[in-house]
């Protein structure tokens, strides 16, 4: 009889660190999570952005946002630097998170213009903040299903949010920020639907009228390029290096966001990805491959579903009591969940919030997450990924409350058209398996196949030429498991 392991999803107890790494853990002297003997973190190419990003990054929520009374968030940030982690996430929506970075950055000499400013250290890290403002200037018109929000009382547009980030992280917190302060990336945060995508692209897909209004993207482009096409950057400042977006809810909207970028705007995508991804319309076979094909830096989030995999019901965190401060559970250890997200094809790094650090390395979330993240992109076999999916769905079947679209399965090709003798169509949506190819039938006869590749622009649909356009035409999507979904054109 086959020997049963203690936990159904165990892969050699999910210990994937090398012998040298294990020895390093044992030898460490953890005074406040001392990290002197920790090996250098694993890194991956961050898309086409010319940066090698550590596989684990520091999220700006957890104790950096909802800070318990007995926690000081500054040492968490400092220890993250000591570990060599080089991606840092925060947001205008995260209460005091940006202000906590300011306190840590002062200790690290990362404030431009101050004595001892460590420019080399600043250039070695990637600092991202976010805006949920959809419009590029104040006075935005109401639009159905378009949410426009910020924690800043005086924030009326995306440009205001960028400057709020800079003053909170590098400045006085009251509006001033020093020369030389910048953000590596600003994300248009938590994209919900196509209506929001329409707003974000106004002024790019439509004429730009500085006296009217326009979407956030064209205004952020001014802050990236040092231009003033919108009138929102009169000093021609270069305050950000890259622009991206984030999303938890809607893979089709996220694909649309990427596929409409004919302008060289988007460089990064922050996306919810965990072992329960396939309990809803999944990200891993839909939005992520498109972003990867576009060369974007891809950051995973919600590895533990904002602690809904653990100690709280499926909802957003709201108080310090919602911060999870342990290292997983016996039913769902943190290591396999981290490994699952990091072995999802296309993902470069994971932002994970830290509840606390600890002198005991086995209780220190930061150290444990660090070691779990030392895995190659193909470091988890497909069978193990499926075991983790089954266990996560069994233990916490409704954890992914933030994914809005229910599981729909493989879709047919979209928007099939016939122009003379050329059939065109937009990408289908994948179910549990990636899409393999499309089959073209004319009057019931298979006449050709087209390999599926992630579609990076809506203006470049899939196409197939036929000799004579007559009778019924069917284009069928086929996935890697042989599932099929067809769409008819007469």
- Domain chopping of the chain, boundaries: 12-395, 414-489
Give the per-residue pLDDT at 18: 32
Helix 365-372, helix 73-82: angle, nearest 10: 30
Q: What is the pLDDT of residue 8?
A: 33
Tell me how far apart the alpha carbons of residues 87 and 81 are, in angstroms, rounded to a whole number. 9
Distance of CA 279 to the CA centre of its chain: 18
> Which residues are CB-neighbours of 133 under 8 A, at least 6 positions away?
148, 149, 150, 155, 156, 157, 158, 160, 161, 216
Q: Is the dihedral of CA 458, 460, 466, 467 positive or negative?
A: positive
Whether 12-395 and 414-489 share one fold: the answer is no
What is the second-level CATH architecture of the domain 414-489?
Sandwich (2.60)
Asked if residues 389 and 275 have their Cβ atoms less than 8 Å apart, the reply is yes
pTM above 0.85, yes or no: yes
The CATH number of the domain covering residues in 12-395: 3.20.20.100
Q: pLDDT value at position 20?
A: 33
Q: Are 438 and 478 in contact (CB under 8 A)?
A: yes
Cα separation of 224 and 220, whole Å?
Answer: 6
Tokens 């917190």 belong to 173
Contacts with 235 (C-beta within 8 Å, 6 or more apart), sequence order: none
Whole-angstrom distance, CA of residue 220 vs CA of residue 291: 20
Given a contact cutoff of 8 angstroms between Cβ atoms, the answer to whether 404 and 249 are in contact is yes
Give the 3-state secondary structure of residue 264: coil
Residues linked to residue 271 through DSSP beta bridges, in sequence order:
247, 300
Tell me the C-alpha distance between 245 and 128, whole Å: 11
Residue 395 buriedness (CB in 10 A; 0-12 / 13-18 / 19+): middle
β pairing state of 445-451 and 266-272: unpaired
Distance from the Cα of residue 407 to its chain's centroid? 20
| DSSP β-bridge partners for residue 479 | 435
Would you state the pLDDT for residue 458? Answer: 98
End-to-end CA distance of the chain: 58
Q: Which residues contact 12 (CB under 8 A, 6 or more apart)?
A: none
- Chain-centroid distance, C-alpha 452: 24
Which tokens is 279 given? 């309990």
Which segments of the chain have a pLDDT < 50? 1-31
């Amino acid at each position: 009889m086959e020997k049963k392991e203690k936990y159904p999803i165990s892969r050699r107890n999910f210990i994937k660190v090398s012998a040298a790494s294990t020895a390093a853990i044992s030898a460490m002297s953890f005074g406040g999570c001392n990290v002197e003997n920790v090996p250098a973190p694993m890194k991956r190419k961050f898309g086409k952005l010319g940066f090698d990003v550590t596989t684990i990054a520091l999220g700006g929520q957890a104790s950096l946002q909802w800070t318990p009374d007995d926690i000081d968030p500054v040492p968490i940030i400092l220890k993250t630097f000591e570990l060599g982690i080089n991606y840092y996430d925060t947001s205008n929506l995260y209460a005091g998170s940006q202000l906590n970075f300011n306190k840590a950055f002062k200790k690290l000499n990362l404030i431009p213009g101050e004595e001892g400013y460590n420019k080399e250290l600043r250039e070695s890290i990637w600092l991202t903040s976010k805006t949920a403002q959809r419009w590029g200037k104040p006075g935005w018109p109401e639009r159905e299903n378009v949410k426009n929000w910020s924690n800043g009382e005086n924030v009326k547009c995306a440009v205001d949010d960028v400057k709020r980030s800079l003053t909170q992280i590098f400045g006085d917190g009251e509006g001033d920020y020093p020369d030389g302060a910048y953000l590596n990336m600003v994300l248009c945060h938590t994209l919900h639907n196509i209506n929001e995508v329409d707003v974000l692209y106004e002024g790019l897909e439509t004429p730009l009228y500085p006296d009217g209004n326009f979407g956030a993207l064209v205004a952020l482009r001014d802050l990236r390029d040092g231009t003033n096409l919108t009138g929102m950057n009169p000093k021609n400042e270069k305050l950000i290096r890259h622009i991206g977006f984030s999303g938890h809810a809607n893979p089709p909207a996220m694909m649309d966001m990427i596929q409409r970028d004919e302008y060289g705007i988007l460089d990064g995508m922050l996306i919810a990805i965990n072992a329960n991804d396939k309990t809803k319309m999944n990200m891993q076979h839909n939005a992520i491959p498109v972003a990867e094909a576009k060369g974007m830096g891809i950051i995973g989030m919600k590895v533990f579903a904002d602690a809904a995999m653990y100690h709280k019901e499926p909802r957003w965190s709201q108080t310090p009591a919602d911060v999870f401060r342990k290292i997983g559970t016996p039913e769902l250890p943190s290591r396999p969940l981290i490994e699952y997200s990091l072995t999802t094809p296309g993902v470069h790094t994971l932002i994970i919030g830290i509840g606390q650090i600890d002198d005991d390395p086995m209780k220190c979330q930061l150290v444990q997450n660090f070691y779990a993240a030392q895995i190659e992109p193909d470091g988890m076999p497909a069978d193990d990924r499926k075991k983790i999916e089954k266990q996560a769905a069994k233990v916490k079947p409704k954890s992914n409350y933030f994914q809005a679209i229910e599981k729909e399965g493989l879709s047919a090709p979209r928007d099939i058209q016939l122009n003379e003798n050329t059939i065109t169509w937009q990408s289908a949506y994948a179910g549990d398996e990636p899409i393999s190819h499309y089959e073209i039938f004319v009057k019931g006869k298979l006449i050709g196949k087209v390999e599926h590749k992630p579609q990076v622009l809506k203006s470049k649909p899939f196409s197939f030429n036929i000799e004579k356009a007559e009778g019924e035409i069917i284009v069928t999507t086929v996935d890697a498991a042989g599932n099929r979904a067809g769409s008819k054109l007469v």
